Chains A and B, each alone.
Chain A
Amino acid sequence: MDILNPMTYDAEEDRLRERTKYSQMDKHLIPMEFQQQPVSTGTTIVAVEYDGGVIIGADTRTSSGTFVMNRFTDKLTPLTDRIFCLRSGSAADTQAIAQVVQYQLDFLSAEMNEPPLVRIAANCVRRLIYQYRDDFVAGMIVAGWDKKLGGQVYSCPLGGLLVRQPVTLGGSGSTYIWGYLDNNYRPNMTKQECFDFVLKGITLAITRDGSSGGCARLAIINKDGVERVDVLGNDLPKVFDL
């Protein structure tokens, strides 16, 4: 790991391709036309806090190399009633992490007799990613609402970092919208402004990133519950297309 040049989300795709040393043999044994790339959710994921909750969103494309395996994926995976995780990186790794953390939080909420805190959920995810950092390719965002601190967004990227941020992006498509975020995000936006911000961000990333596409799936999480909104392809906000 190079300290001066840490891994960015771009590098996710490269890591995924040269998966492990042992499968180098596959290139020689299996004829070219049958070689399949591992399934990745090269993706765009966005999460933002607002007063009273969080708004999260993702695109819906899962690809295997150049082939789109699933054009209506659900990358917003519930960990508990009020806590969701957004998955980017390897589809298999992130699904496995989400399943394990779901179980851990379910067990914890039975022990504590109260719904788990968002920070605890994020820590469970972070712990798994950090422990298997050399094997997993998983960049996840954990966002939700709890009684103690309200709406929170935590970022758990590739190496096993855990950091709370008011707004965060993830996935290969996020590189194209950091500028949009810097220009358009202001603290203390209303719920509708945050929703439009997330939706526009995903749309812009879908327009420019090859690994992101399809529709946009959003969710609004607050104390009253989770409201899921699927914005289909032709309903996405209009972007000037060259």
Chain B
Amino acid sequence: MSGLAFEQPAGGFVFDNCRRNEILLNNGALPGKIHKTGTTIAAVTYKDGVVIAADSRCTAGNIIFDDNVLKIHRLSDNIYALGAGTSADCDFQTRLLESQLELLKLNQDRQVRVATAVRKIQQHLFRYQGYLGAYLIIVGVDVTGSHIATVHPHGSIAFLPFIASGSGGYTSLSVIEDRFKENMTEDEAKQLVRDALYASTTTDLYSGSKINMFVLTKEKLDKFLPYEIVAVRTDKQADYTLAKGTTEVLSTNVKKIEFDIVNEKVKSTTGSNEAMELA
């Protein structure tokens, strides 16, 4: 049999560039710094279910890139995930997990359990040996009760009564550690989580803007988007619009620009949405 056999690409990551990077590093070429987004995410169980909250800031270096990121991802009607770490990994892995859980739910004709979601994502992340930088908190309410679990990129999990994660996670955790009790009421739990997020959004540079909160029980899902805006933008102190004539016009030059019509498209702004193509 002659001819080249078509080579199926092997699955998983290709690490060839890592060797190149090492050589570059040894020769003194410094790599560019990556931009960490920073986050605070927290989850707390209470009498009837779970309360979860996240900040909404995305930073690139010292600049706030996006003020309104939703770090709470839906996995199923009764299961949600909070993501910290590499935001691309969090987004895509949770999306992948969401579709897998939907298929499973249709297949087994039952509500999906939190333990199932956690086991699936754990085994997936373990396969990638920590290279998918997704620090997730999976929360949900199912037939066995309400659960929250933390999942680390290397594939270790832990089911706990309360969890806080992200760059501001340590601060949040100390607030929760101080005031957490078993079987709190919904208001107590919401207040606790709000205080925890408030502490880290005000102390951690990389967390802030809004506090988004979800309350998940067997019967309901309350979304508070946002629950609180931490740093409210104040009104402008003065009127900065400039009067016409502030800039002196020195000279005026009017020129005709020659152009050809290549394509014309007529689009109706009301009624039908179809565009008519001419020429």
Contact = CB atoms under 8 A, between A and B. Distances in A.
A69 B158 contact: yes
A227 to B, nearest CB: 22
Contacts of A99: 119, 123
Given A28-B30, A29-B34, A99-B123, 5 more contacts: A28-B31, A30-B36, A69-B158, A92-B152, A95-B122
Contacts of B119: 99
Interface in A19-61: 19-25, 28-31, 33-34, 38-39
A21 B25 contact: no
What bracket does the count of chain B residues touching chain A fall in? 20 to 34
A72 to B, nearest CB: 8
Interface string B1-38: 00000000000000100100110010000110110101
B156 A91 contact: yes
The list of the 9 closest CB pairs from A to B, nearest first, reads A91-B156, A92-B154, A92-B155, A92-B156, A22-B18, A70-B158, A39-B156, A29-B34, A34-B36
B116 to A, nearest CB: 13
17 contacts: A20-B129, A21-B18, A22-B18, A23-B130, A24-B25, A25-B31, A28-B31, A29-B33, A29-B34, A34-B38, A34-B167, A62-B156, A69-B152, A90-B154, A91-B152, A92-B130, A95-B122
Which of B36, B154, B170 is the most central at the interface, judged by chain A CB atoms within 10 Å of its CB?
A: B154
A95 B170 contact: no
A29 B33 CA distance: 5
B157 interface: yes
A67 interface: yes
Q: Is the interface of B mostly helix, strand, loop or mixed?
A: loop
A124 to B, nearest CB: 18
A20 B154 CA distance: 13
Interface in B165-202: 167, 170
Given A34-B167, A39-B152, A95-B157, A28 B36 contact: no
A23 B131 CA distance: 9
Nearest to A70: B158
A28 B25 contact: yes
B145 to A, nearest CB: 17
A175 interface: no
Interface residues of A, number: 30
B160 interface: yes
A73 interface: yes
A112 interface: no
A96 interface: yes
Which of B22, B33, B152 is the most central at the interface, judged by chain A CB atoms within 10 Å of its CB?
A: B152
A95 B122 CA distance: 10
B227 interface: no
B31 A70 contact: no
Contact of B18 (A25, A30, A33, A38): A25
B15 A22 contact: yes
Nearest to B13: A22
A28 B29 CA distance: 11
Contact of A30 (B25, B34, B156, B160): B34
Which of A24, A30, A39 is the most central at the interface, judged by chain B CB atoms within 10 Å of its CB?
A: A39
B128 to A, nearest CB: 11
